Amino acid sequence: MEKLTYTFAANRPIQCKTHVGVVGSGDLEILLEPTEAQETVVEIRTGITGYSDTWKRVIERFMAQQQILASIKINDFGATPGVVSIRLAQAAEVSMNG
């Protein structure tokens, strides 16, 4: 199990707690919570080790596009970067629209 943590400046607070996806083969779950902090912290737990550079690029791209201010937890079970991007976009949309 590998745990990765990334921190980003952000300026769009989310409106509600959000849970999307499931931890299952080739998928992941994402939990977003509002935060009082002035930055977004992304914590990733994955059973697939050695992909920290890929994770960092995917999360950086998401944050550059969305700028959401939240506590983000990702529990991964082998999701591809494409699946990660889709789930993140889904979570962002749900969290901003309640």
| Domain locations along the chain | 2-96
Residue range 2-96 in CATH 2.30.30: no
In tens, the pLDDT along 65-80 reads 999 999 999 999 999 9
- 97 has pLDDT over 90: no
Q: Which residues contact 88 (CB under 8 A, 6 or more apart)?
A: 30, 58, 59, 62, 66
- 89 has pLDDT over 80: yes
pLDDT of residue 24: 80
Distances (CA, A) of 35 to 55, 70, 78, 87: 22, 5, 28, 20
pLDDT of residue 27: 87
**Residues making up the chain, counted from first to last:** 98
In tens, the pLDDT along 15-57 reads 999 999 998 878 899 999 999 999 999 999 999 999 999 999 9
Q: How far is CA 98 from the centre of its chain?
A: 17
Contact by Cβ (8 Å): 27, 88: no
Where would I find the H helices in the chain? 52-66, 81-97
